[in-house]
A and B are shown apart, each in its own frame.
Chain A
Amino acid sequence: GEDVEQSLFLSVREGDSSVINCTYTDSSSTYLYWYKQEPGAGLQLLTYIFSNMDMKQDQRLTVLLNKKDKHLSLRIADTQTGDSAIYFCAESIYNQGGKLIFGQGTELSVKP
């Protein structure tokens, strides 16, 4: 069945790069997304990648997709304390009503 896995915690120092990893099982994914959730708030779309792409860069964010290994990563350059949040990876499955399968979320803690 469909499954998305993430590590639960990541701690970095301010100014370092953060890399959050995600693996998924369904090879019929169409889009893969990264959402950010701050405490007590809803989900904010950060970036996405279409399944036929290998990489996408958007300012401080770089998404890498390895379709062979079904591995997705989000790199945040020059991480700031304001980046502290929970980051969710999600996949959209082809022809299933656009529904999203989410990972458990990675809590990113940025220390000054």
Chain B
Amino acid sequence: NAGVTQTPKFRVLKTGQSMTLLCAQDMNHEYMYWYRQDPGMGLRLIHYSVGEGTTAKGEVPDGYNVSRLKKQNFLLGLESAAPSQTSVYFCATLELGQGDNEQFFGPGTRLTVL
């Protein structure tokens, strides 16, 4: 089992370019999350999904869109990248009500916007 995977691992964009980050999971979890991590600020929730076909806004949703067309995939889109979106992006999954409600994290995508 691969767990939670993220594609790509690294990316450099120019201001105004668009891109999509892919999160894939093979654990059949219902809940999926996108976070961003910036120095000294911990992780902040961008968007999340409680099931296929659903999405909801987190703390810092502006400038991002998401889609959950298939249960195993959660896509994060940047329509017009800005330098303020330079960050490390983490995807996580959860099966609510199982044990300790642990979120499983992917390895991260390091994005630089010039």
Give the interface of A toward B (CB within 8 A): 4, 8, 30-31, 33, 41-45, 48, 50, 88, 90, 92, 97-105
Contacts and interface: CB of A to CB of B under 8 A. Distances in A.
Contacts of A88: 42-43
A103 B41 CA distance: 7
Contacts of A103: 42
A104 B103 contact: no
Given A42-B90, A42-B105, A42-B108, 9 more contacts: A41-B108, A43-B105, A50-B100, A97-B48, A98-B94, A102-B35, A102-B44, A103-B42, A105-B42
Interface string B37-51: 000111111001010
Interface string B57-74: 010000000000000000
Interface of B: 31, 33, 35, 40-45, 48, 50, 56, 58, 90, 92, 94, 96, 100-103, 105-108
A38 B107 CA distance: 11
22 contacts: A4-B42, A30-B101, A41-B107, A42-B106, A43-B43, A43-B105, A45-B102, A45-B103, A50-B100, A97-B48, A97-B56, A98-B50, A98-B94, A98-B96, A98-B101, A99-B45, A100-B33, A100-B92, A100-B103, A101-B45, A102-B42, A104-B41
Contacts of B45: 99-101
B102 to A, nearest CB: 5
A42 B93 CA distance: 13
